[in-house]
Amino acid sequence: MSNRAKAGEKSAGKQPTPVGDRIGRAIEALPAGRYLLAVSGGRDSMVLLDAFTSRRLDAVSIATFDHATGAASRQAARLVEREAARRSVPFITSRRIDGGARTEAAWRDARWSFLRTWAAELSATVVTAHTRDDQIETVVIRILRDAGVRGLAGMYAEADIARPLLDITRAEISSYAQSYELRFVDDPSNDSLAHLRNRVRHQLLPALERSHPGFSGELLDIARRAADWRIGVDALVDGLGVNPLPGDNGTDGAGVVVPASALTSLDLSAAAILWPAIAARAHIALDWRGTERLAAFTATGTPGGRVPLSGGAEVQRTVSSFVLRNCGAVAKLYS
């Protein structure tokens, strides 16, 4: 346990706190089903573990992924395992064993591959401990990366992941952990300014709030409107006749096929709105360059023409359709 870890356990006789009740109600609002809790051993996820297993133990499993980044990573994984055993909850773990790049993106991809594989095995929904503060940081990062309206929804966008704490602040999470004396392990990387999210968290957002009080709340309002906008666009795509392109083993995931007649009559701005939503059906996130290229290709592409996209994907024009292919690349699932 790190020297910043909290000691002690939630006592059976402790009275519920207002924030505990609020978190509990958010968890109880989830529909009936099987759930796989993504627990890293950090404060937020240990609050999720404690609150979730206190309110509903039916069809719940706990999963942790050891990123093998050092002593804190190992300690956190062991803590999660002990807490799962103490609550008699099934526990699943994996550890990064490759010597690949030690980047935020690589860590995220490895963790989500593990979580999604086990969620499919258990027919469960992944549950994360993302908070209101995480959503604010995500939207700011999307802005810095020149995301379009679709990306500005951040974690408010509809997804196959449950995030019951998304309206709970980090301060409330801290209050819960302190009130119930939860044990957790701080990840040293959370303080490293080498990572963009930490620079946003520790430097940029505080500066923006000082210069424009209420900035975070206004940003969340924009994100909610963007999420509503996404729902409307996705409904339009539902009516285009988009079909999955089967992979070599007969399963979906190799791409999608769109009737050309559904797109060729559109102007560039309309095509630019629809293509990111179409690509999302193939688990591909388009950047603005790819979106602009596809919008232009929709109007000028001829049968046999192709447009390459980042990540190894491409769109091919046939006589009757546009075919978006992953071209053998592993499709990354963005949420």
pLDDT at 328 over 90: no
Confidence band for 72, pLDDT divided at 50, 70 and 90: confident
Per mean pLDDT, which of 16-20, 37-41, 287-291 is the most reliable? 37-41
Q: How far is CA 296 from CA 265, 280, 300, 321, in A?
A: 12, 19, 6, 15
Most confident of 39-48, 58-67, 144-153, 278-287: 39-48
Residues 81 and 126: their CA atoms lie apart, in Å, by 18
More confident residue, 249 or 6: 249
Domain boundaries, the chain: 18-211, 241-325
CATH number attached to the domain at 18-211: 3.40.50.620
Question: 255: alpha, beta or left, given left = phi > 0 and alpha = psi -120 to 50?
Answer: left
Given a cut of 90, is residue 252 above it in pLDDT? no
308 contacts 277 by C-beta, under 8 angstroms: no
What is the band of 310 on the pLDDT scale with cuts at 50, 70, 90? Answer: confident
Task: Pick 110 or 42 by higher pLDDT.
Answer: 42
Eight-class DSSP state of 201: I
Which three-class secondary structure state does DSSP give residue 166? Answer: coil
Packed helices 170-179 and 43-55: angle between N→C axes, nearest 10 degrees: 70
Confidence at residue 289, expressed as pLDDT on a 0 to 100 scale:
87
What number is the average pLDDT over the span 2-19?
Answer: 51
Q: What is the pLDDT of residues 188-208, one digit of tens each?
A: 777 889 889 999 999 999 999
pLDDT at res. 102? 62
Neighbours of 105 (CB within 10 A): 9
Provide the mean pLDDT of the chain.
Answer: 87
**Is the per-residue pLDDT at 335 higher than 80?**
no
Task: Check: CB of residue 165 under 8 Å from CB of residue 23.
Answer: yes
User: 10 Å Cβ neighbour count for 122?
Assistant: 17
pLDDT at 189: 76
Domain range 241-325, CATH architecture: 2-Layer Sandwich (3.30)
Overall average pLDDT of the 156-163 stretch: 95
- Cα separation of the two ends of the chain: 31
Asked whether the domain spanning 241-325 has the same topology as the one spanning 18-211, the reply is: no
Query: Which of 94-103, 165-174, 193-202 has the weakest average pLDDT?
Result: 94-103
* Cα-Cα-Cα-Cα dihedral sign, residues 77, 124, 335, 132: negative
The residue among 311 and 174 whose pLDDT is bigger is 174
Predicted local distance difference test score (pLDDT) of residue 191: 81
203 by Cβ neighbours in 10 Å (0-12 / 13-18 / 19+) ranks as exposed
Partners of 255 in beta bridges: 325
Q: Which residues pair with 37 in a beta bridge?
A: 62, 127
% of the chain at pLDDT higher than 90: 70
What is the distance between the alpha carbons of residues 126 and 161, in angstroms, rounded to a whole number? 5
262 close to 241: Cβ distance less than 8 angstroms: yes
CA neighbor of 237 nearest in space, from 279, 267, 291:
279
- Quote the pLDDT of residue 253: 58
| Burial (CB count <10 Å: 0-12, 13-18, 19+), residue 84 | buried
Token digits for 307? 């447009």
